[in-house]
Amino acid sequence: MTAALLGGLGALITPSAAQAANLLSNPGFESGTLSDWSCTGNTGSVVSNPVHGGTKALAGAASATDNARCSQTVSVQPNTAYTLSAWVRGNYVHLGVVGGAATWTPSASGYTQLTVSFTTGASQRTAEVYLHGWYGQGTYHADDLSLDGPGGGDDGEAPTTPSSPRVTGTSTTSVSLAWNASTDNVGVTGYDVHRDGALATSVTGTAATVTGLTAGTEYRFTIRAKDRAGNVSPHSPAVTATTDETGGEDPRFVQAAPYLYLGWGNPPSPAEVVNTTGVKWFTMAFILAQNGCNPAWDSQRPLTGGVDESTIQAIRAAGGDIVPSIGGWSGNKLGPNCSSAEALAGAYQKVIDAYDLKAIDVDIENTDEFENAVVQDRILGALKIVKQNNPGLRTILTFPTLNTGPNSWGNRLIERAHALDADIDNFTIMPFNFGGGADMYGSTVKATHGLKNKLMSAFGWNEAQAYAHIGISGMNDSSDTGEVTTPQIWTQIRDWANSHDIGRLAFWSVNRDRPNWEFTSITAGFTG
């Protein structure tokens, strides 16, 4: 194996000794993402259990048609010895380097360390290391990988200093920043944002939002660029920002936004609904995928130039506004069709730019998005990116629930939102379809209590903070399973929501609320 890597000169040259350094980026997946790793067929995800060290590990979902291969390419020195190791768990887990050594374990019920050594060729400058399971053998786990040896020998050049740092937005608890890109002889891989001398966040683009700040407080920020070899630029010039004062305008995100769907049910005149009921927001359904990672209404109608854009204009002319619902139960969705968080963020950005939006809602349901760990993380990553790139934008996640609160997939979604620092403004549950005859008021309150408790546990919020991040999206009249929510019950739910200062109230749908817009009028009385 060594001779193959060294080629014809292998017998004449003595490999240099490796130095103690881990060349892999994100080796323990503690970033909470697959950053710097590439996994085939969206088979990789980051999990919090089981782990070997730290709090995160890789899960590779091997199937009958995909061995869940995850790889990373690093810079190396020619004619140099390296040692690759990983802690793995599962059946037929393989570890190796392309063109070099490999090893595997037939079965590891607990974490077992795999190790291989290899020597680079005389002119080799990169090495691709990989892990994979085996077809039909189920999910494997890996953690705490290490590639021990000296980094790419010729890259001792640091990136240039990020220039023109600037404040692009503030709130009571956050500051949004932007800067001009750095350059590097090989390539810039990311930026570290420092707050008052300490690392606050790391991003791959030229904008970031630092959260968790205190109202009415001045902060000082600098930015440093970094490359794959670990070279880091000098700090940028400092920029200062003061968070907004508490008081005055309500800093909370409060939205009463019943669904309006132009693809079904003789859609009503939105201006008539606004003028009759006083409602100011509509959740407008549904943005889906068209021809890959391209957003379109119902996968068919373009974002601009059609009935959807003219409807939005009519709503705004009447004094209202819209939040688009991206996803839903059925249809061809953006989450599975976009290949990465960055690509998905680009699709979301097209929607934001088309309508100059103040908020977006991702309705994450069914097995293709909600019950898919990779897609969950992709959606959260994309929402984090657009939040950073659009200061002031509000982000909403809408998802199903049990009558006791989030199910295991809902719990995971919340935990990952915290781990990825996605900065979601509102977690909206859909408390219905529990079964015919359910107590819709009692079940809704019970489910919302469960969500509140999960948010407090995951984020460390108090009750008031948790409620402020909660939304309820009900179903007027009869649900899919025959439950009945009457106007009287919906009024009870609205009043309970107001008394607990939750952040959002919606229902499906205005199209079904005829002839008097009774549920819409009740919803318009939601004040948070």
Per-residue pLDDT of the chain (528 residues; tens, 9 = 90+): 333 332 332 333 334 333 335 888 889 998 888 888 989 888 899 988 899 988 899 999 998 888 999 999 888 888 889 999 999 999 999 999 998 899 999 999 999 999 999 999 888 888 899 999 998 899 999 999 999 887 765 566 888 999 999 988 888 888 888 899 999 877 788 889 999 988 888 887 788 888 878 888 999 999 999 877 668 899 999 999 998 876 544 467 899 999 999 988 789 999 999 999 999 999 999 999 999 999 999 999 999 999 999 999 999 999 999 999 999 999 999 999 999 999 999 999 999 999 999 999 999 999 999 999 999 999 999 999 999 999 889 999 999 999 999 999 999 999 999 999 999 999 999 999 998 888 999 999 999 999 999 999 999 888 988 999 999 999 999 999 999 999 999 999 999 999 999 999 999 999 999 999 999 999 999 998
The answer regarding whether domain 255-524 maps to CATH 3.20.20.80 reads yes
Euclidean distance between the first and the last CA atom of the chain, given in angstroms as a whole number: 67
User: Which tens digit of pLDDT belongs to each residue from 284-311?
Assistant: 999 999 999 999 999 999 999 999 999 9
User: Which tens digit of pLDDT belongs to each residue from 454-486?
Assistant: 999 999 888 988 999 999 999 999 999 999 999
| Nearest-angstrom CA–CA distance, 476 and 483 | 10
Return the HEC string of 159-207.
CCCCEEEEEEEECCCCEEEEEECCCCCCCEEEEEEEECCEEEEEECCCE
Return the HEC string of 290-336.
CCCCCEEECCCECCCCCHHHHHHHHHHHCCCEEEEEEEECCCCCHHH
Q: Where are the domains of the chain?
A: 2-148, 163-242, 255-524
Q: Is the pTM of this model over 0.85?
A: no
| Nearest-angstrom CA–CA distance, 407 and 330 | 20
CATH code, residues 2-148 = 2.60.120.260
Task: State CA 225 to chain mean position distance.
Answer: 23
Same fold, 2-148 and 255-524: no
Strand partners, 61: 139
Tokens of 517: 């817009």
| Nearest-angstrom CA–CA distance, 341 and 86 | 26
CATH of 163-242, one of 2.60.40.10, 3.30.565.10, 1.20.1290.10, 1.10.1760.20: 2.60.40.10
Pair 303, 336: CB distance under 8 Å: no
| Nearest-angstrom CA–CA distance, 358 and 449 | 28
365 is an active site residue: yes
Q: Catalytic pick from 365, 371, 415, 463? A: 365
